[in-house]
Amino acid sequence: MDSPFSARRLPQDRESAPAWEQAEGLRWRCAFARAAETRASGDVGQDCVVVARAAQGFSFCVTDGVSQSFFGDLAAAALADGLVHWLNTLEPGVSLESARASLETCLRELCLEVSEDVRNQPLPAELPEMLRQVLEQKRSIGSESMYACGRIWRPNPSHPHGHLVLSWLGDVRCRTWWTGQECKLEGFRTEDRWSSGRGILGSPGLFVSSLIGPGGRLDRVAVYSDGLEILDNLCQLPDNEGLSRAIADLARNPKSDDVSLVEVELTD
């Protein structure tokens, strides 16, 4: 396990414009913006972005809380933190089987932790009784979120081709490019999600590879919530200016959704 590692969660109560950062062998950018209605009401967003640097590489996660569940932002934040912590426990060169077993353990343990948070979550005293009843019914189901996350280990003497682990559940996008060409991943389903009350709904996607794979050399990875589905048909993602314009255009729609993104690029 890489130790220590420095994790950062983007604030869910305000916007974060896309900006590139860089460390040895990697550069990355994050973006977050609340839905128009959420921003107007001053509420927190239900997406969450967490990134973490460590000695050998970089971990990242985008989560999308389910608005029909109990405080989806609660699940989104806890799941993003928990998955980045899980990624940091993995050793470079971890196998698909070992990664899957430890992922399932992580998700089950998070259910227990977040279930306690859901039980203890207070409701505002001024809530109308009908809304209070609706929220209590949602509380019995739990807080839910979708996710996509990953970890990149740079090449080192023990693992000269580096290593990559990606996982996803739900419709948060996870895209990879190898030697300039996108390699499509599969299994993104809106009905799949992680639930504090109902457990893992669906089968988490998992991809494990060295950075030299069947599609060539890994160039970049991007994960983003369905609020940015306008990016789905683009062969390459826009630069920061173009991405900021796209996010601003989406925000002008009263029915817009939260948007969140992490893009990681190998630079050598």
Q: What's the domain count of the chain?
A: 1
Asked whether residue 249 is domain-assigned, the answer is no
Res. 3: pLDDT tops 80: no
pLDDT at residue 244 in the model: 98
Res. 261: pLDDT tops 90: yes
Over the stretch 94-115, which tens digit does the pLDDT of each residue have? Answer: 999 999 999 999 999 999 999 9
Asked whether residue 66 is domain-assigned, the answer is yes
DSSP string for residues in 75-141? HHHHHHHHHHHHHHHSPTT--HHHHHHHHHHHHHHHHHHHHHHHHH----TT--HHHHHHHHHHHHH
Asked whether residue 220 is domain-assigned, the answer is no
3-state SS assignment for residue 186: coil
Asked whether residue 160 is domain-assigned, the answer is yes
Res. 1: pLDDT tops 60: no
Is residue 189 a contact partner of residue 173, using CB atoms and an 8 Å limit? no
| Mean pLDDT of all residues belonging to the chain | 94
Residue type, 258: D
CATH number (domain holding residue 118): 3.60.40.10
Asked whether residue 233 is domain-assigned, the answer is no
Nearest residue to 106 via CA among 158, 153, 155, 165:
165
pLDDT at residue 24 in the model: 81
* Distance between CA atoms of residues 260 and 131, nearest Å: 28
Least confident of 56-60, 80-84, 170-174: 56-60
Asked whether residue 240 is domain-assigned, the answer is no
Asked whether residue 238 is domain-assigned, the answer is no
* Distance between CA atoms of residues 116 and 75, nearest Å: 12
Any idea what DSSP says for residue 231? G
| Distance, CA of 164 to chain centre | 16
Provide the residue range defining the domain that includes 179.
5-207+257-266
Asked whether residue 105 is domain-assigned, the answer is yes
* Distance between CA atoms of residues 209 and 165, nearest Å: 7
CB atoms within 10 A of CB 42: 8
pLDDT at residue 213 in the model: 73
